């Protein structure tokens, strides 16, 4: 197919494709790449139909003529929606199951912890986390777990809130025993059972905005998105996430993803490149000159020599 034929198959003026790419980079920090016309055509045509526009062209023309922020967020959300499925990043879930949850339980001995699925799309990841918690309830005895899923306001997030999936959705990544255990049927769809849905709260936020409307979390799962962000957006989103993770809490990235040379207050956990632990901030106490200084013995008894502060020699 020639370039002219391809252009003939597209329904928007060529300048709109570039404008949509720039809009997505500006609002979400995500670079769609140069070959994004197919993505625009398929995802936005669906959105245009659902929003009641006569055509894709009518919706995009209105977007750029009126600059409507609600429509802009919907368009960008549709363009950046990830194709996800249950337990998509098995390495991340293994880290959650084998390292993060046992460690949090061991250190806290119980109580309430909070987990975050950052960029949760249509909800498979946070619901998967809830299933893992349910399966580990004996090992996590005494620990209550709240799970929050956040993403841009979108139809995907609305689907997540409903916990309603098609038979294609529940057959990708989800073992049939989990399907039977955690879902009910409703006509042609599969609906997450209340015992799982009640553990998960969904909130729509701008992922690149200040995240201080969220409380902090004991662990954050952020899988599969990092490589799509532009370099400045990557810094911004990781800085935001750093502020959300409690000291000694965990950041779980996707398989093959890492903080590279940036650390944002995290240390890598052993050799797991995608698992990081938030560094504890140690506040050194001010030295009171009248305070007795340990004398090297096992007690704080008064030493025979009066304490003299060390004086550093001047160079």
Partner 1 sequence: MKTCLIVDDSRMIRRVAGRIVKDLGFETSEAINGQEALDKCQMELPDAVLVDWAMPVMDGFDFVKKLRELPGGQKPIVVFCTSVRDISRIVEALAAGADEYIMKPFDSDIIESKFTLAGLV
Residues forming the site for partner 1 (CB under 8 A): 85, 167-168, 171-173, 175-177, 179-180, 183-185
Minimum distance from residue 38 beta carbon to partner 1 (Å): 18
β-partners of residue 149 are 117, 202
Q: Contact 120/89 with Cβ under 8 angstroms?
A: no
Minimum distance from residue 90 beta carbon to partner 1 (Å): 9
**Nearer of residues 16 and 125 to partner 1, judged by Cβ:** 125
Distance CA 252, CA 222 (A): 6
Q: Contact 186/112 with Cβ under 8 angstroms?
A: no
Minimum distance from residue 125 beta carbon to partner 1 (Å): 16
User: What are the structure tokens assigned to 159, written together?
Assistant: 């689907």
**Nearer of residues 10 and 179 to partner 1, judged by Cβ:** 179
Minimum distance from residue 102 beta carbon to partner 1 (Å): 24
Minimum distance from residue 196 beta carbon to partner 1 (Å): 15
**Nearer of residues 180 and 281 to partner 1, judged by Cβ:** 180
**Nearer of residues 16 and 127 to partner 1, judged by Cβ:** 127
For 9, 253, 271, the CA distances from 250, given in Å and listed in that order, are: 47, 10, 15
Instruction: Indicate the angle between helix axes 155-162 and 69-80, nearest 10 degrees.
Output: 70
**Nearer of residues 167 and 302 to partner 1, judged by Cβ:** 167
């Amino acid at each position: 197919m020639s370039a002219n034929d391809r252009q003939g198959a597209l329904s928007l003026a060529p300048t709109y494709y570039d404008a949509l790419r720039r809009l997505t980079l500006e609002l979400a920090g995500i670079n769609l790449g140069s070959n994004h016309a197919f993505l625009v055509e398929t995802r936005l045509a669906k959105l245009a139909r659902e929003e009641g526009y006569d055509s894709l062209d009518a919706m995009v023309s209105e977007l750029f003529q009126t600059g409507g922020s609600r429509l802009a967020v919907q368009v960008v959300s549709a363009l950046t929606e990830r194709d996800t499925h249950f337990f998509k990043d098995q390495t991340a879930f293994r880290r959650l199951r084998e390292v993060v949850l046992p460690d949090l339980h061991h250190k806290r001995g119980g109580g309430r912890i909070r987990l975050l699925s950052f960029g949760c799309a249509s909800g498979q990841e946070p619901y998967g986390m809830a299933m893992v918690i349910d399966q580990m309830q004996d090992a996590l005895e005494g620990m209550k777990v709240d799970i929050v899923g956040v993403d841009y306001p979108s139809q995907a997030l609305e689907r997540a809130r409903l916990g309603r999936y098609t038979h294609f959705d529940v057959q990708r990544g989800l073992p049939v025993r989990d399907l039977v255990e955690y879902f009910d049927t409703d006509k042609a769809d599969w609906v997450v059972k209340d015992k799982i849905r009640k553990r998960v709260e969904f909130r729509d936020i701008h992922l690149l905005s200040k995240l201080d409307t969220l409380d902090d979390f004991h662990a954050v799962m952020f899988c599969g998105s990092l490589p799509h962000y532009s370099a400045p957006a990557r810094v911004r989103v990781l800085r935001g996430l750093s502020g959300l993770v409690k000291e000694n809490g965990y950041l779980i990235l996707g398989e093959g993803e890492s903080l590279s040379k940036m650390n944002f207050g995290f240390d890598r956990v052993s050799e797991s490149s995608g698992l990081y632990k938030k560094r504890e901030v140690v506040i050194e106490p001010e030295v009171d000159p009248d305070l007795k200084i340990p004398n090297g013995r096992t007690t704080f008894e008064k030493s025979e020599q009066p304490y003299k502060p060390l004086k550093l020699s001047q160079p």
